[in-house]
Amino acid sequence: MKVLYKKISLLLLLILLALPGCSRVENANSLSKLNINIKKDVVVTFAAWTSEEVKLKKLQYEGNLKAIRKCGFKQKYKLIEIESHRWGGSADTVNRIAANILCTNELDNISAGNNSYKKNKQKTTQKVIDKGNQMLTINAHVKLDGSTAIISGTIIANTEVQEVLVGKLQLPTFAGGVFEFKEYIPRAGKTIEIVAYDIKGNKASKLLKIERGNIQQASGPKFDALNPLGKRVKSNPNSLALIIGVANYEKTPANALYADKDAQQFYDYATMKLGISPSNIKELVNNKADRVEIALAVKDWIQRSTKQGKSDIYVFFAGHGLATGDGKDMFLLPYDGLPRLLQDSAIKRDQLFADIQQANPRSVTVFLDTCYSGTTRGTDMLIASRPIFIPTKEQSIPSNFTVFSAAAGDQTSKPLEEAKHGMFSYFLMKGMEGDADTNSDNKITARELHTYVEQNVVQQSSGSQTPELQGDKDRVLVEFN
C-alpha cells in the first residue's frame, strides 16, 4: 500500500509542476495539520483514492467559479502558486490542492476571422438566471477556418452542469465546464445558440452570430519569380553579350512595357546561365541605348573584343520594332528612334547582323523580344495612320547565326502582367533555368529552348503570339555542370 501511495504522490507532483505558475509542493504526515488555514484563493480537498485527473479537473472547475468573483465575468485569469498537501498514512489519508488566482487584464472576447484567423468581435446575447446564490454563465470563443467554425468555451456554475445543447445536439463537457465543437458556416452566415442547464434548473444561453467574410477569388495564373540561381553552368571565357532594353522612348509616347526590366534581368542569366564573364557584357538600357551608343557597341566594342573564329556572341534586344510599309525591311527602334523616319533614326536588322558578322565570331545567338507589326506591348500604335498589322517577309540570316524572335511578323509581342516581364523574355529565361531541358541531359539546345518558349507563349497569349526560331536548332546554349 505504501508503494501505491508513493506512486500517486509522485504522479501528482509531476502533473502540478507541469501546470503554469506552479511554484512548490509540500508534504506533511501529521493529521493535526488538517485544520491549517491555507490562505489561497482556491482550496480543494480530496479523498486519498481520488485520481490525479479528477483532482486537476476539480481545481480548474473551482478556479473558474472563484475567478468570476475576483476578476469579473469577461476577464481571463491564471492559476498560480499551486501547492499540494497530503495528510495521514493509512486509510484516512487525504489530499488538498490550493492555488491563487491571477487576473491577466485580458478581456475574454468572442472572436472570429477569415482564413488567416483574423479576430473580430462578434455580437452576442447572454441570458443568466440567478436564483439566490446559483449562478450559471457561458463563455465562448470562435475561430473561423474557411467554412468551418471551431467554437470552444466554458460553462461557469455554482453547482453541477446537467447538459449543454446546441440545437438538439448535446455537447460533451469536461471538467471545469469546458466544451468544444465544430460547425459548418454557410456563405450567408449562421446564428448558433448555446444553452446550458444545471441540476438546480438554472438556464443560460448565448447567441453567436458568425459571418464568413470575403471568400478568396481566383486571381489568374501564378508564375514563379525568375531565379537564375540553382544549377551551375560551365563558364565560357570566349563569349560576349550585348544587352539592350528600351521601355521609355524619347520621340514616341508608346512605351514598351517591362523592356528595360527584361534587359536588366537577362544580364544575370547571361552570367549565370550562359557562362559569360561580367567583364564581357555591355548593357544599354533606356536613354543609354540611343542609336549612336548601339552603333559604338557593335562596330567598336564587339569588333575589338571578338576573338576571330573563337568567340560566341549573344545579343538580347527588348523594345519596339517596326517594318517598312511593304514589309521587306525590319528595324529595331533605339531610344531616340522616330517611327516616321525609320531609315534615318532606327537600326536595320539585316545591317545589325552584317556588322556583327564582320567581327568573324564562331557563333552568334540573338534574342529579339520585339515585333514589327506597328503595335506595342500595350495598346498603342507606333504610327497611328498605318494599318494594325504590317506583315513582314522572312529574311535570311548568316550561317552561324541562331535567331529567336518573340512573335511572327504580323503579331504583337505581349507582356506577361502577372510576372511583370515581356511574355517571351520571361519564358526564355525560365527555360534557361533548366525547365527547357526536356531530356534531362543537363544541356539545353536551341530547339529545346524554343519549344519550351513557344508552348508557353502560345498558351498564355491564347494563340495570338507565336515565337519563331531560325538557324542551328541543335546548337547547345546552356550546359550545366
Fold of 239-479: Rossmann fold (3.40.50)
pLDDT for 442: 96
Judge residue 368's burial from the number of C-beta atoms within 10 Å of its C-beta, 0-12 exposed, 13-18 middle, 19 or more buried.
Answer: buried
Task: Kindly report the three-state secondary structure assignment for every residue of 50-103.
Answer: CCHHHHHHHHHHHHHHHHHHHHCCCEEEEEEEEEEEEECCCCCCEEEEEEEEEE
In whole angstroms, what is the distance from residue 149 CA to residue 141 CA?
10
pLDDT for 53: 74
Question: Left, alpha or beta for 417 (phi > 0: left; psi -120 to 50: alpha)?
Answer: alpha
Q: Where are the chain's structural domains? A: 2-105, 111-210, 239-479
- Distance, CA of 408 to chain centre: 36
Report, in angstroms and rounded to the nearest whole number, the Rg of the chain calculated over CA atoms.
Answer: 39
pLDDT for 383: 46
Low-confidence ranges of the chain (pLDDT < 50): 1-35, 108-133, 379, 383-391
Residue 55 CA: distances (Å) to CA of 26, 52, 65: 16, 5, 16
Residue 287 CA: distances (Å) to CA of 6, 192, 377, 391: 87, 65, 19, 29
b/e burial code for range 315-331 (CB count within 10 A of at least 16 → b): bbbbbbbbbeeebebbb
- In this structure, what C-alpha cell is assigned to residue 379? 495598346
pLDDT for 325: 76
pLDDT for 213: 81
CATH superfamily for 111-210 is Immunoglobulins (2.60.40.10)
Nearest to 156 by CA among 204, 87, 109: 204
- In this structure, what C-alpha cell is assigned to residue 61? 472547475
pLDDT for 218: 75
In whole angstroms, what is the distance from residue 64 CA to residue 334 CA?
78
Cβ-proximal residues to 360 (8 Å cutoff; 6+ apart), any chain: 306, 308, 309
Judge residue 187's burial from the number of C-beta atoms within 10 Å of its C-beta, 0-12 exposed, 13-18 middle, 19 or more buried.
Answer: exposed
